A and B are shown apart, each in its own frame.
Chain A
Amino acid sequence: MDVQLEEASGGKSAVGYVPMMEEPDGDAPFLPAASITVKKFNPVFFWSWDVQSDNCAICRVMLMEPCLNCQVSNKTACVVVWGECNHAFHNCCMSQWIKNATATAGSKCPLCQAEWVIHRVGN
């Protein structure tokens, strides 16, 4: 953007330099304000603990990086798993724990002890 502005102010022709950011979407209809009446408003909030947990609490390695076992065996497809409690771990680490925990005490989140239900798997 800076470059474009400099060029524009530098006396060169600014024709054809309509900045993309300012271009209206075109699809969005502009309706007169009076034609809408809000009758009901149902806000939906999503919340999560505001914690800086960038580490997997099991192996203590950054969640952005593969877990150690994957690093050692050069597997890069190590994904992160989120529970419904919003705690995240490496999927490899968590599945090891779940495999062990179901045999003993039942599968619980290691951090908050809530019943472990997978919410999302990904990166």
Chain B
Amino acid sequence: MWGVGMTSTWDPSKSKEWDSQQPNSICMSRMSRDIKQLLEEERQGDLDIFVYPNDQNLTKMMALIIGPAETPYNGGFFQFYIRVPPDYPITPPRVRNLTTGDSSVRFGPNLYNDGKICLSILGTFPGPSWTPIMNVGGVLKSIQSLMSSSALRNEPSYETRSTKDPQVVDYDRLITHETIRVAVADSVRQAIDGACTFPVKFREIMMRRFLRQKPMWVKTCEDNVHLDGAPMNCIYGMSRGTFKWGTVKKELNDLEPKVLAALDRLEVAKENGGKRVVKPAAIK
């Protein structure tokens, strides 16, 4: 669906040229190390980065990065598809942002609406490039650090702008709106649906977080509702429509009972699934 057969220098979903090569042994062992380390860091739980490795193929994985607090991305659920090359770590991984509102939302100067991430270590941006001592965890942390306040200052010619610059402030408000509308409401709506392709692990994290953080997002909507109907302008001249804080707030309220029900279903499914796994061992 992402242009089958095409290749691209950044897009993991258009990396056909990697399919024909068997990953070498350094690649495989480095990836199992990287994954082990990521899962360990995840268990310690202070990074808000979660990974879902592909058991069949160590070179592919999904990641969920939660937007850092005190930024316009606060609590947003951003999913990524990561693929490492057959000669990893000699050449860098490729990463695609999957949370783009169907390629309609540019979440920042470095987070394009087509899923491309401009990051020097990925080779998609000028600056310090990839070196083989880096790993997937480092890439994910760098992506998380792109989710900062005064996000517009990540744009090369805006780096020196004040944090109080009206354009910088307006851009953060726009990102806040889109984060709640797309990275929260849309993501959670998809996570509720049992048929969605998100890993159950991510669905559960998203729904539990949603219940915890919903009051905060609702308050943000209420604080900004006077801006409804105003156009969401940005320096990139994209047509982004208008602010709809009221609609987003209603969406959040509608989602809450559905999340509770979906979590119950997930619990039941887990218990049943658990029994199936436990029984043979108990007989022994």
| Contact present for B129 and A60 (CB under 8 Å) | no
> Is B12 an interface residue when CB atoms closer than 8 A count as contact?
no
Given that A97-B90, A100-B90 are known contacts, is A110 also in contact with B132, CB under 8 Å in the complex?
Answer: yes
Q: List residues 56-104 of chain A with CB under 8 A from any CB of chain B.
A: 57-61, 67-69, 71-72, 93, 96-97, 100, 104
- Of all chain B residues, which has the CB nearest A71? B25
> Is A111 an interface residue when CB atoms closer than 8 A count as contact?
yes
Q: Of residues B29, B30, B133, which shows the largest number of chain A Cβ atoms within 10 Å of its Cβ?
A: B133
- Of all chain B residues, which has the CB nearest A108? B131
B residues within 8 A CB of A110? 131-133
A residues within 8 A CB of B87? 96, 100
Q: Which of B91, B129, B132 contacts A93 (CB 8 A)?
A: B132
Q: List residues 33-64 of chain A with CB under 8 A from any CB of chain B.
A: 57-61
A residues within 8 A CB of B132? 57-58, 93, 97, 110
- Of all chain B residues, which has the CB nearest A99? B90
A residues within 8 A CB of B240? none
Given that A57-B133, A104-B129, A110-B132 are known contacts, is A69 also in contact with B26, CB under 8 Å in the complex?
Answer: yes
Category for how many chain B residues contact A: 10 to 19
| Contact present for B91 and A58 (CB under 8 Å) | no
- Of all chain A residues, which has the CB nearest B24? A69
Q: Compute how far the CA of A105 lies from the CA of B128 in the bound complex, rounded to whole angstroms.
A: 10
> Is B161 an interface residue when CB atoms closer than 8 A count as contact?
no
B residues within 8 A CB of A105? 129
Q: Of residues B29, B128, B129, B132, which shows the largest number of chain A Cβ atoms within 10 Å of its Cβ?
A: B132
Q: Bits for B25-57, please: 1 = Cβ < 8 Å to A, else 0.
A: 110011001000000000000000000000000
B residues within 8 A CB of A93? 26, 132
> Is B89 an interface residue when CB atoms closer than 8 A count as contact?
yes
Q: Compute how far the CA of A58 lies from the CA of B90 in the bound complex, rounded to whole angstroms.
A: 8
- Of all chain B residues, which has the CB nearest A105? B129
Which residues of A come within 8 Å of B, CB atoms?
A: 57-61, 67-69, 71-72, 93, 96-97, 100, 104-105, 108, 110-111, 113
A-B contact pairs, 16 of them (CB 8 A): A57-B132, A58-B26, A58-B90, A59-B26, A59-B29, A61-B29, A68-B29, A69-B25, A93-B132, A96-B87, A96-B90, A97-B131, A110-B131, A110-B132, A110-B133, A111-B133
8 closest Cβ contacts across the A-B interface? A110-B131, A57-B133, A68-B25, A58-B132, A72-B25, A59-B26, A110-B133, A68-B26
